[in-house]
Copies of this chain bind each other. A is one copy, B any other.
């Protein structure tokens, strides 16, 4: 029977540790501080941001929300980031994507102090990760959360054949880098890939970050495959589902992260974990 990889359980463990760390820091007079910058009124973004704020408060993290109008100028946005860069109460800055089209996301991210770039999206942090330089530096939260989830479930990565489907800057690329750094053999597949089936049939671990419901199903895999489903899609019935369909009974899939309850909870837990770690780096 297919085994579910429980992201909520792992996230809870991470959160417990984060909470303890915050307590210890408070005894030393240090309060980790997270600033979330939200531009406009994207519904999904507002929901994510609320979840992040709530979780930060629950763990004892100081949290600030900068809610900015849809039509804010780029200059004004960069100025707000610059102020946060110099604000000693804030050690972690997150700009919620997507940004409205008139704002240059690359420029906005490059303006964040790399030492406060809790999303790990700044080019210098991406470069350090890809080069596997010694830390500390922030790493994209979903990829790092996936690595924690694999470790927590004792799924070996070193020497494993991993197929990464998707090459986004937020998931596919940083996750491929992390896996390579841990000694996996990594194949990065994407929309221009031929022979996807051939690649899938060689994989010990398949990570899908495609964003299409029913994109893969059990028959696509070789026996004993571990599947990490990063997809977050609404299906025909308006239900939240991942990229991968799977039966509950005898399958090729050995274990899989369900959606919801798999990778999702790890992203926010990792964001909090990293916020707290970053408050310690300067000490």
Contacts and interface: CB of A to CB of B under 8 A. Distances in A.
A195 B202 contact: yes
Given A124-B127, A180-B188, 20 more contacts: A106-B134, A123-B123, A123-B124, A123-B127, A123-B128, A123-B133, A126-B127, A131-B173, A132-B169, A159-B192, A159-B194, A167-B180, A173-B180, A183-B192, A184-B192, A185-B188, A185-B192, A185-B193, A185-B195, A187-B188
Size category, A interface:
35 or more
A125 interface: yes
Interface of A: 106, 122-128, 130-134, 158-159, 161, 167, 169, 173, 177, 180, 183-190, 192-195, 198-199, 202
Given A185-B187, A187-B187, A194-B159, A122 B130 contact: no
Contact of A194 (B131, B180, B185): B185
Nearest to A202: B198
A167 B192 CA distance: 23
A23 to B, nearest CB: 34
Contacts of A188: 180, 185-187
